[in-house]
Structure 1
Amino acid sequence: MKLVKLSLAAVVAAGSFSFANAAVSLDDAIKNVDLSGFLRYRYDMTHDKTGDVKNSGAAHKYRAKVGVSTEIADNFKAVAVIDYNNGDKSYGSKAGLNDEASFNLRDAYLAYTNYETTFTLGRMEIGSIWTDDLLGTGLKVVNNSIEGLTLAAYMFDNYNKDGDFSLYNVVNNKNLYGVAAIGSIDPVSYQVWAAYLAAKGTFYAVDLAFDGGEDLAGLNAQVQVAGTSLKGKLKEKHGVDNGLFYAVNVGANVAGFDANVGYIGFGKKDKTTFTAIEDKGQFIDAGEIIIDSYSETLAGSHSYEFLTLGYSFDDVRVGLDAVFGQVNKAGAKTDAFEITPRVAYKYSDKLKFSAYYAFANVKPKGGEKTEATKVRFEAKYSF
């Protein structure tokens, strides 16, 4: 299970800073710098077929995040993230090498901490339950003065053009205000979120998780409920209606074996809705193909059951995801099924290799079925 933390330390960064034009020796500067980041290579291949119509593609993808977090004065910290994100199309007439991408300044913010409270100002990850790695410029305040409880509040007035942020053109000029309470009372952890997107509507979400630990054979459970109450042009111009998302996941982990079963439901059969602001946010999901996004404006009601199995031995894990689902759009039903074998190898604490092969079958009742596959190999070095 995944517990969202609004942590200011969970940033990979690179850069250099000067404070009040004060020159320091290289040795002294290095002592105050925490370096972190990752280098990642992916090879993705996709193929789908509907009747006689076929589509396929493959790409090499490269990602690098390198950075520093540095103490620049009493209680003050400066953070910057340098990001390189590039890809080359693979094989045949579509093949091509992209040598025009460059490094970009991804995050840049100043943090001040005192009395168990941190104020962060600048460009940073929004870090909400509705977003994955979406960036915004604004202010975030996080308080940890109560043991076992994190209180947060934030305001952002712009966002980056993330490819998974499908609502960018609709909400980019609107301020986002939010609050959150994240905590735990062993063995239960909880999250309560609320946000307001100016002139667009209100978002709310609750996440409850239980972890029984070894005393209960690794039994765990998670429940999520999220909703939107929209107004203005999102409803009138874009035809998006209020939505409700609900999901449950129950699992166990014994002697290297892990298993989870769950259910995911959202949407209305006669309406278009969305749940997340970007990508799948921090919501429960499974598989790689048929549950593609929670941030798209999706028509119809969606319901999915899923099962995940895995076994870990030494530094290797093998696993399998199975997803069964149905979409009901104004009475027209589509059945979907996906199976995804996975394997991962932890070469060292810093270097990990992983791969999966996903196969999905989507069939509208009375229509032609679509068969789709997605293959990924990944090598990631973290430091």
Structure 2
Amino acid sequence: MTKFVKMSLVAAVAVTGLSTTSFAQPLEEAIKNVDVSGTVVYRYNDYEDQARGSKASAAGDSDSATNNYKIAVNVSSKVNDDITANTRFIIGSDNGEASLGTSNASDTNVNVQLSEVNFTYTGVQGLSLTVGKQGIATPWTVARDSMGNETTGTGALAVYSAGPVTLVGAYFNQTNIGKTLDGEVSADISSLYGEVGSEDIYVLGAMASFAGITLDAFYANLDNEFDSYTIGVNGSFDLGAVKLSPFARYSQLDPDSDSNANTLIGLMSDAANANEDQKLWQLGLTAEMGIFEGFVAYGESGNNGGLVFLDSGSATNMDYHWRVTADGSADTEYLYVHATAQVTDKINVGLFYSEADYKTANDVDEIYGKVSYQMSKNFSTYVQFGELSVQNSDEDGSMGRLNVQYTF
């Protein structure tokens, strides 16, 4: 697959005549300097009568089954010893997956778009500077996802590492914030921010690792919208038979007085004053022993809301399982627990439970089983099936998923 794509690129260059210019590299060198990677994913979802109109409808549809497709191809080419050109192509819908209904739907095709095009400079030891259209990799956003939406923008990202310390600085003056696919309030808050893609966003951060512990602190400012900061800690401790990996994070977002976020925060958090700070803290632990792994995470949002993320799958949010995801609601408690077993080299089975205890809405919980099959290093599939329940409601329903992924 990789060799085929590389040769296709060379053929395209030859057709345009670029390979005949005096500045072009010999074809043999061009092939050597091109690196191709990516993912091909197919996903089938079937949700039965899932929490219609409630805060639990974060990921979903009511009484619906969908076929979902996404192909992402990354192509990087080494320009010289210091500069690399990078591109990312997505076959899907905008910058996420294409969801095609299964009921009475004809066969349709999906779009292709150039999601990223940028240059990375590494001529100074310890420094990486990327300029151009790229994924916005911050604790508030998801820059790349094999199936879901991706936050991208045009700007500059600088990362400098010296020993155990890494410093990060970023500026973007054009983004796709406010133009993502998900329309549900609890699915992705950027979909309700309005036309803020032209607003500048600044990010500063620092990370440090020592003695099995990693600390990080980040600050973000979205012009005329909000200021936000997040602090996290992760650990990894090998105690012989057991390996423990605890983590904790606190995030706060302060909306500007004239921000579009005010209406959104008031809607999601039932706050009397939408200008109040949004807060979410969380902590958790992963334990591994032999073929078994256990996980638990708990978090709480603030009195005025917990809208501290731009993408629901980001580090500042809680999105550890399937349908139950922290959605910005005020005074809400979240709990995630699961246990898995690697029964063979290729097969993993697990049981997952999640719940959201709302102050002003019906509580929601889910339980499901999952079987994963790793056929080879670059090909995997999983099947999961379970039940989502909404307290004091007849909107309970089963949910199923089949996911197949090829990585190259």
Report the Cα offset of residue 230 of structure 1: 1.5
Paired residues of 1:37 and 1:65 also in contact (CA < 8 A): yes
The alignment partner of 1:166 has SS state of helix
**1:293-308 to 2 correspondences below 5 Å:** 294=327, 298-308=328-338
Report the Cα offset of residue 50 of structure 1: 6.6
The alignment partner of 1:215 has SS state of coil
Unmatched runs of 5 consecutive residues or more in structure 1: 1-12
- Matching residue of 2:172: 156
Q: How many residues align?
A: 353
**1:242-321 to 2 correspondences below 5 Å:** 242-268=277-303, 271=304, 273-282=306-315, 283-291=317-325, 294=327, 298-312=328-342, 313-321=344-352
- Matching residue of 1:325: 356
In 1, Cα distance between the equivalents of 2:51 and 2:111? 38
Higher strand share: 1
Report the Cα offset of residue 357 of structure 1: 1.6
Unmatched runs of 5 consecutive residues or more in structure 2: 1-5, 53-60, 93-97, 144-150, 182-187, 267-273
Tell whether 2:378 aligns with 1:353.
Answer: no
Specify the code of the residue in structure 2 equivalent to 1:302: T
Report the Cα offset of residue 214 of structure 1: 5.0
Paired residues of 1:15 and 1:67 also in contact (CA < 8 A): no
Report the Cα offset of residue 150 of structure 1: 1.6
Paired residues of 1:289 and 1:358 also in contact (CA < 8 A): no
- Matching residue of 2:29: 28
Paired residues of 2:241 and 2:289 also in contact (CA < 8 A): no
- Matching residue of 1:137: 154
- Matching residue of 1:77: 84
Paired residues of 1:41 and 1:61 also in contact (CA < 8 A): yes
- Matching residue of 2:113: 104
Q: 1:173 to 1:15 in 2, by over 3 A?
A: farther
Between 1:161-170 and 1:130-139, the stretch displaced more is 161-170
Specify the code of the residue in structure 2 equivalent to 1:162: T
Report the Cα offset of residue 213 of structure 1: 2.3
Report the Cα offset of residue 237 of structure 1: 5.2
Report the Cα offset of residue 276 of structure 1: 0.7
Specify the code of the residue in structure 1 equivalent to 2:119: L
Specify the code of the residue in structure 1 equivalent to 2:350: G
The alignment partner of 2:140 has SS state of coil
Tell whether 2:99 aligns with 1:87.
Answer: yes
The alignment partner of 1:27 has SS state of helix
The alignment partner of 2:73 has SS state of strand
In 2, Cα distance between the equivalents of 1:305 and 1:50? 19
In 2, Cα distance between the equivalents of 1:168 and 1:199? 11
In 2, Cα distance between the equivalents of 1:208 and 1:325? 24
Q: 1:21 to 1:205 in 2, by over 3 A?
A: farther
Instruction: Provide TM-score, normalisation by structure 2.
Output: 0.80
CA shift digits 1:42-90 (9 cap, x unpaired): 1111111679xx9311111111112321111230110001110133211
Q: 1:185 to 1:159 in 2, by over 3 A?
A: same
Between 1:33-42 and 1:155-164, the stretch displaced more is 155-164
The alignment partner of 2:214 has SS state of strand
Paired residues of 1:304 and 1:323 also in contact (CA < 8 A): yes
Report the Cα offset of residue 301 of structure 1: 2.1
Specify the code of the residue in structure 1 equivalent to 2:281: Y
Between 1:351-360 and 1:123-132, the stretch displaced more is 351-360
Paired residues of 2:301 and 2:329 also in contact (CA < 8 A): no
Q: 1:363 to 1:198 in 2, by over 3 A?
A: same
RMSD of equivalent CA atoms: 2.5
Report the Cα offset of residue 217 of structure 1: 0.9
In 2, Cα distance between the equivalents of 1:188 and 1:50? 40
